[in-house]
Structure 1
Amino acid sequence: MKKVLKYVGIGILVLGALWAAAFFVKSNSKSAIQYDTKNPFITNIEKKSVATGTVVPQDEVEIKPQISGIIDKIYLEEGVKVKAGDLIATIKVVPNEQAMNQARGRVRNAELALNNVKIEYNRNKGLFEKGVIASQDFDNIQLQFDQAKQELQNAQSDYQIIRDGSAGGSSTANTNVRATVSGTILEIPVKEGDQVIQSNNFNDGTTIATIADLSKMIFEGKVDEGEVGKLKVGMPLTISLGAVQGKTLDAKLRFIAPKGVEESGAVQFKIEGDVDVKDDFMIRAGYSANASLVLEKKDSVLAIPEALLQFDTKTDQPYVEVETGDQKFERKDIETGISDGINVEIVSGLTKDDKVKVWNKTEPIKKGTEEEEKA
């Protein structure tokens, strides 16, 4: 009976040891990773660059007053389409007291001078008619009289301009602010009651309104110095507007700045493109936009996803791993061409039949049992 119990105990120990060993092997073993493969394929690849910027009118005209004063009335609003000659605002003249006083004094002096010359003229006219003085002497007096009358007219006109804003009995020539070009009013930065000044040698003058033709728009943006050398005037652009989703505009590169500007440590070059404006939606001045430029394009080339590439740590040369058997791979050096950031051109080293390893696949992590976690 003791021997039976002894053998039973030994058997239990052996079975326990075998179970423990099997559990250990099972808990510490990992299944082999099964790598996927992809074949090279034929596709079209475009290498693009994106320039950020804005869409603005080709020409903006600032309307300035012809005389200083106060805005009396504004007749139009921003966004209204106007034609050249349309009335935008009127200005009320506020005369300068010092200039008014000087102008009045000049008028008074001209009147005194004219009265004095008139007396002399009338005296000499009577003598000339009696034949006492020569014709030449009378002609000189006649000239002085005419000059005195003209000086009085000039003084009176200057006084009226200072007082009313214009001579001739009407101030509409200078006090009326009219559009000088046809287009859309983009901005009226003044309001009724604001004081404005005319343009002169020391001041640009107050802007009454800004007018632009919104049918002639351009894209203004900047590109990095690493890409500006690949650009050429006349290249096509595709403009995407941030404010208009799902709509694109065609454009043509018209200008590349000859000088760059450093911004945040990088040299940027200004570019401009003529935008082909469409009639199905309105483009407002100042819309933010992105311009897509095709720097290089190749059709029907052999390519693989760029994510399959690996690079030698010493030479930085690209290579891939090609399947030679069931889950067996070997390194293959390749030569690449252009890339669009997703696919890369294969110049040499691969064929359409090669199966390229998707090398970055990882095995999913398995959750252990409660006993393993506690251990």
Structure 2
Amino acid sequence: MKNKIILLIIGVLLTSGAVYGYTNFTKDQAANTEYRTVKAERGSLSSHVTANGTVNPVINVLVGSQVSGMIQKLYADYNTPVKQGQLIAQIDPANFQAQVSQALAKVQNAKASILTSEAGIASARSNVEAAKANVSKAKVSVDDTRRSLDRSLELFRRNLISASEKDTSQTAYDSALAQLEAAQAQQKASESQLESSRAGVIAAQATLKQAEAELELAQVNLDHTRITAPVNGVVVSRNVDVGQTVAASLQAPTLFNIAQDLTEMQVEANISEADIGKVAKGQDTSFTVDAYPQAIFRGKVTEIRNSPITVSNVVTYVVVIRVKNPELKLRPGMTANVSILIAQRDNALKIPNAALRFRPEFIKKEAVDQKKSSAAGYKVWVPGQQKIPVPVEITAGISDGTYTEIISGNLKDGQEIIVEVVGNNSKNGGNSSRSSLPSLPGPR
């Protein structure tokens, strides 16, 4: 048992000695290593989000046809300036003119039917008045013959007249009653005819309205054979030729593409979901196009669309950037390499990103600690006694990809910072400046 304890103590002593010796060796090695240093400095620093996009007109109008037919003539071509209402194409109007003529004939027939029906009303009204007069006359005749019959019956009862004279009075009365009934029947028939004539007028008026609606539709279709520019602008593309037939049965075919104003354009940039949270309306942007690689165009973010675009499981959002185009250099469809300014610092304390990537080889644990640091917390290394690197805790801010802002930490303007190893007199000296940089934080 005692032997085991003695062996354990000896092992601990040997291990401690080895560690101590290795540490002294590595520190001696670090003292013999040459480092390249730079100074922390103050200056302007900006952070950007980059993306690709497409240049488009601000207002782009697709001109279509609402009727089917053959293109008879074209009055506009590529790059033609047009005014609102200007004729730019003509569809063969022959069929539509025939439809207008047919509808016009129906309208005229309907109007004639109304006139005929109105004349029938006048005639029926006259017949009704005549029938009423006949009824009144028949009533008077009935009253007269009734009185005559009553007198004849009284005289016959007194044996003052003969039976034949009494029968004559009775016959006259019966005839007057029959004439009254006939006159009343004729009055009813005339009144029915009058109502029928009035209904005929209403039907003729409805037919006229329908014919007028058909005429209006035919006229609208005829007008649609004239394709006019809906806005002031420039024809960007033409999709038809003379003699070509367009079919508007399912949807309006596109004949022209008109850009309203090419002196002001917009770039629709696809921003990744990782960066979209950094983008806001009003941010300044700059971009280049392949046609003018030396020219830098500037604009502002005017819209951030909420609808996502997913391609191959990559989600992006469209950000619209408005830009002036007075020289008309920018053309629809150009690819833009966009840089959006998301943060800017003036007089910021900054260091090269290489300083964040550097860590000494002789301290392995520091590498682990560096990887476990927070999103904005880092260690940089400064020359200490005997040139041995000494860590300094810092908090990083925005980065432009080359320099990073220092928000807080024991680092001063002008202080030397180690960025890489440039030489080592020791055989085992190492340079770990190529180790990967932890993800830099976004703007604060």
Which position in structure 2 is the counterpart of 1:299?
346
How many angstroms does 1:93 deviate by?
4.3
Counterparts of 2:103 and 2:347, CA distance in 1? 89
Which position in structure 2 is the counterpart of 1:257?
305
- Kindly tell me: are residues 140 and 344 of structure 1, through their superposed partners in 2, closer, same or farther at Cα, counting changes over 3 Å? same
Aligned length: 317
Which position in structure 2 is the counterpart of 1:39?
39
- Kindly tell me: are residues 205 and 362 of structure 1, through their superposed partners in 2, closer, same or farther at Cα, counting changes over 3 Å? farther
* Partner amino acid, structure 2, of 1:297: Q
Residues 1:329 and 2:379 are matched in the alignment: no
Q: Deviations over 1:94-118 (max 9, x none)?
A: 759xx98xx979979x969968995
Q: Is the 8 A contact 1:121 1:145 kept in 2?
A: no
Q: Deviations over 1:341-371 (max 9, x none)?
A: 10122332333443333424368xxxxxxxx
Larger CA deviation: 254-263 vs 82-91: 254-263
Which position in structure 1 is the counterpart of 2:319?
271
Q: Deviations over 1:15-61 (max 9, x none)?
A: xxxxxxxxxxxxxxxxx764332222212111111132112122222
Counterparts of 1:262 and 1:172, CA distance in 2? 44
Q: Deviations over 1:140-173 (max 9, x none)?
A: 7488479759958976995x899xx649xxx962
Which position in structure 2 is the counterpart of 1:370?
none
Give unmatched runs, 5+ long, in structure 2: 1-31, 133-189, 360-365, 425-444
Q: Deviations over 1:164-221 (max 9, x none)?
A: x649xxx96232111111111111111112211347xxx2211121212123422211
Give unmatched runs, 5+ long, in structure 1: 1-31, 364-375
* Partner amino acid, structure 2, of 1:314: V
Q: Is the 8 A contact 1:188 1:210 kept in 2?
A: yes
Larger CA deviation: 288-297 vs 141-150: 141-150
Q: Is the 8 A contact 1:243 1:288 kept in 2?
A: no
Counterparts of 1:308 and 1:123, CA distance in 2? 106
How many angstroms does 1:331 deviate by?
2.4
* Partner amino acid, structure 1, of 2:240: V
Query: Structure 1 residue runs of 4+, over 4 Å off?
Result: 93-96, 103-108, 110-129, 131-158
Q: Is the 8 A contact 2:43 2:348 kept in 1?
A: yes
Which position in structure 1 is the counterpart of 2:380?
320
Max radius of gyration: which structure? Answer: 2
Which position in structure 1 is the counterpart of 2:89?
89
Larger CA deviation: 77-86 vs 254-263: 254-263
- Kindly tell me: are residues 148 and 302 of structure 1, through their superposed partners in 2, closer, same or farther at Cα, counting changes over 3 Å? closer
Counterparts of 2:414 and 2:110, CA distance in 1? 111
Residues 1:350 and 2:404 are matched in the alignment: no
Please list, as runs of the form range in 1=range in 2, the aligned pairs for 1:1-375 lying within 5 A after superposition. Answer: 34-93=34-93, 95=95, 141=197, 144=200, 151=207, 166=219, 173-198=223-248, 203-213=250-260, 214-273=262-321, 275-309=322-356, 310=358, 312-316=366-370, 317=373, 318-324=378-384, 328-335=387-394, 336-346=396-406, 347-361=408-422
- Kindly tell me: are residues 352 and 188 of structure 1, through their superposed partners in 2, closer, same or farther at Cα, counting changes over 3 Å? same
How many angstroms does 1:290 deviate by?
2.8
Q: Is the 8 A contact 2:103 2:211 kept in 1?
A: no
Q: Is the 8 A contact 2:47 2:343 kept in 1?
A: yes
Q: Is the 8 A contact 2:117 2:200 kept in 1?
A: no
How many angstroms does 1:82 deviate by?
0.6
Q: Classify the secondary structure of the residue corresponding to 2:269.
A: strand
